[in-house]
Structure 1
Amino acid sequence: MIRCATLIIIAINLFAASAYATQPFELLLRLQNDSSAVLPSADVCGLLPVSLDGQLSEWRVSSSRPLTASKSNYCLRYDELGPYQTQQMALQWLPVSPLPDEAWALTLPYDLDPAPSAQLLQLSESFKAYPQRQRIERIYAWMVSNIAFSGIRRKVEGAEHALRTGQGDCTEHMLLAGELLERNGVTIRRVLGVALPKGQHRISAAALHNWIEYRDNGRWFVFDSSKGLLGLPEAESYIALLFYQSSQQLTREPFTTNLPQLKLFLQ
């Protein structure tokens, strides 16, 4: 009986892993030398995918060029670049198998605003009369009704700016929702990643996005007031690249190089 049960569990796990594997997500990275000097061969590094639609995953990253991977990122070697020359790198991200939630843990509590405005505190307190699950739903409804999506901005303006002006891009939506949810006892992750329509596997710069993931009844869900989504994504794939550990990480880029003359473009 024990042997039979073990075989059944193995079969279920193999089936789950097979079902989880899907068509890889593809990226095309363009490198451009913006200087009149020759740039030596060096590395371009990217954040390793972490989860898909809230589910932690093991990912396989492959490239048209030699690649080395660590726990949180991967690096590719590009060739010497002449003045004003460009090169392209093709990448593929493939989710291979789900990981247990214990594989991720917040090392330090995210730094909430140490001097919140009276308006933010009053708004946060207004949700505490409701049960936990209703707090999530009501915070989401308030965000959708009161904070307009302003379009993408390069500058991080913060939660208080969104509250004061009634608008913000996906980063401001994430920051304000994070303040309200965490002050109401909800376990959350602030996410840097990409969101693209289901069935689409080519990732462009327009897919880069910020959102919230919240824990409810033992499972992670998406809270994205800038796109009007609460719960499990049905129309889009949400791929997390980084769970922010502090506000200092908000300027983190998904691809980096240590040569300022080299410009990186996700096509």
Structure 2
Amino acid sequence: MKPLALDAQVRDWQLSASRPLRQGSETYCLQHDSLGPYQSQQIALQWLPVIPQPDAAWRPAAPYDLAQSPSAQLLQLSDSFAAYPQQERVGRIYAWMVDNITFSGIRRGIEGAEHALQVGSGDCTEHMLLAGELLERNGVTIRRALGVAIPKDQHRISAAALHNWIEYLDNGSWLVFDSSKKLLGAPETESYLALLFYQSSQQLTHEPFTTDLPRLKLFLQ
């Protein structure tokens, strides 16, 4: 998966690798030697952000598929933020998420926005899905991101670092909304590298890193 944005800023990227690299418009493929049992091979792949793109360079092509039959509880909660001025709603929704939805730790499977609302907890995916429902129903332009969030002094990532969050448009600039990590606005201590902006709920099981070798651990620079 080719990177799209760094800290909510869409960029062009320069890619380099220690092995032959075939690059498409949105994806790339690394070639590797055949490996026998218990053998390993280190392949370095580096992403270098170069030219920033306009803040409007990536907007949702079509509305994300919000819950078609939302519960009365979800609708009532969403409507409660409509009493605030538009410029206050992001902050109000963020504060509500932090106060009412705890971070459950990483879970396998997708339980959804309604589940997080009912039990008062969820992993980063449930935080993203519930916050997305509340934000979009209150007129906020958002994009739901799949990527990694790592300390700014860390330069190696793995598939285990995958994370979900929301980016929202504020006065022409995209910012980060991540209630699971308690971050709103411009990241200061972590780098948010977006690899995919979800277009629909069908993409929630998308795997950005795949390999044709079983049990291969992939680390990226």
**Which TM bucket (shorter chain)?**
over 0.9
Check if 1:233 corresponds to 2:187.
yes
State yes or no: 1:190 paired with 2:149: no
Contact 2:59 2:143 in 1 (8 A): no
Q: Which one of 47, 53, 56 corresponds to residue 99 of structure 1?
A: 53
2:178 to 224, 227, 231: 224
1:266 maps to a residue whose letter is L
Q: Please, which of 99, 102, 114 is the counterpart of residue 160 of structure 1?
A: 114
CA deviations on 1:138-178 (whole Å, 9 max, x unpaired) are 10000000000000112111101110110000010000000
Say whether 1:266 aligns with 2:218.
yes
Q: 1:51 aligned to 2:17? A: no
**Contact in 2 for aligned 1:144/1:225 (Cα 8 Å):** yes
SS at match of 2:111: coil
Letter in 1 for 2:103: F
TM-score by length of 2: 0.94
Compared CA separation, residues 83 and 204, structure 1 to 2 (3 A): closer
Task: Output the CA distance in 2 between the equivalents of 1:163 and 1:265.
Answer: 35
Q: Which amino acid aligns with 2:92?
A: R
Q: Determine which of 59, 62, 73 is the counterpart of 1:108.
A: 62
SS of the residue corresponding to residue 95 of structure 2 reads helix
Larger radius of gyration: 1
Amino acid at match of 1:262: P
CA contact (8 A) 2:56 2:172 kept: no
Residue 80 (structure 2) aligns with: 126
The answer to whether the 8 A contact 2:147-2:162 is kept is: yes
**Partner of residue 215 from structure 1, selected from 169, 182, 190:** 169
* Alpha-carbon distance between aligned partners in 2 of 1:264 and 1:162, rounded to the nearest angstrom: 33
Give 1:121's aligned amino acid. L
Residue 196 of structure 2 aligns to which amino acid in structure 1? L
SS of residue in 1 equivalent to 2:167: strand
- Residue aligning to 2:104: 150
Q: Which has the higher strand share?
A: 1
Shift of 1:77: 1.3
RMSD value, Cα? 1.5
Aligned sequence identity (%): 72
State whether residues 194 and 209 of structure 1, in contact with CA within 8 Å, keep that contact through their aligned partners in structure 2.
yes
Show structure 1 runs of 5+ residues with no match.
1-46
Matched, 1:76 2:30: yes
Instruction: Quote the Cα distance in structure 1 between the aligned partners of 2:95 and 2:68.
Output: 25
Q: Secondary structure at the match of 1:265?
A: coil
TM-score computed with the length of structure 1 as normaliser: 0.78
Structure 2 counterpart of 1:153, which letter?
Answer: R
Unmatched 5+ stretches in structure 2? none
SS in structure 2 of the partner of residue 103 of structure 1: coil
What's the CA shift for 1:191? 0.2
**Greater CA deviation, 223-232 or 76-85?**
76-85
Q: CA deviation at 1:90?
A: 1.4
1:49: how far off? Answer: 0.6
Name the CA distance, whole Å, in 2 between partners of 1:122 and 1:196: 35
Secondary structure of 1:57's match? strand
- Offset at 1:206? 4.1
In structure 2, the residue corresponding to 1:221 is in which secondary structure?
A: strand
Whether contact under 8 Å (2:55, 2:172) holds in the other structure is: no
Q: Deviations over 1:21-67 (max 9, x none)?
A: xxxxxxxxxxxxxxxxxxxxxxxxxx101111111101111111100
